[in-house]
Amino acid sequence: MHRPRLIPVLLLKNQGLVKTIGFRSPKYIGDPMHAVHIFNELKADELVFLDIEASKEGRTIDPEFVRKIGEEANMPFAVGGGIRSLDTIRELLRCGAEKVVLNSVAIDEPDFVRRAANEFGSSTIVVCLDVKKKWLTGLRTWAHGGMVSSGMDPITHAVLMQEYGAGELIVQSIDKDGAMTGYDVELIRGISERVSIPVVALGGAGSIDHMRIAYEQGFADGLAAGSFFVYQSKRRGVLINYPGKISFNR
């Protein structure tokens, strides 16, 4: 029976591990390298590291930090944050990352996705679609930490990114971020049914049942989360964790 990838997403601020709710009020929760060691022991499928301040500050995720992750992590990992040049991607891959995650640049300069995919291969290029609902306009994708709207609905944007060569999409609900009340299954399903590349659900996971629903009803190929993997419960006591064997049906 096929088992979807279960992917901890670790948010970075000043090279510390933080967690947000609705992209706001980042709370420091520990040392990211300590988390890597624990996920090594728990045999996580893969990890994603996102520097949440990089785009706002006009820089990229620190390559030296990525190198340290590469020296410690026993699983594949992807990194994102402020990536805007092919040279940056090349350096991050040399530092050990398997994939890079593009967000703001995919909105500001969508043809960069095509150039990156042509240079490094689609399997290396992940586009993260941050999705938020606004009154009157409905669901739109957003850049720069959820501050700038693309003007596109998420399905249109997802199809465009596939056409431009993205090899995978992370679909993140800003409204669900940190809530631990379940994924936006309708959003995930709508995109999964329109693209052929893998879709990773992110935003809202608080239980294995939430993950199972996103996989079985939303047709997600991967199930990513932050709070679920770093909090003990909805009381938000910090405890790095990763589930053992889980059965999924589709």
d(CA 35, CA 136): 41
Catalytic option among 51, 130, 177, 184: 130
Residue 231 sits at the vertex; the CA angle it makes with 202 and 67, to the nearest 5 degrees, is 70
d(CA 201, CA 220): 6
Contact 14, 56 (CB under 8 A): no
d(CA 63, CA 51): 11
d(CA 39, CA 104): 28
d(CA 165, CA 142): 20
Phi (first) and psi of residue 189, to 5 degrees: -65, -45
- 130 among known catalytic residues: yes
Catalytic residue positions? 130
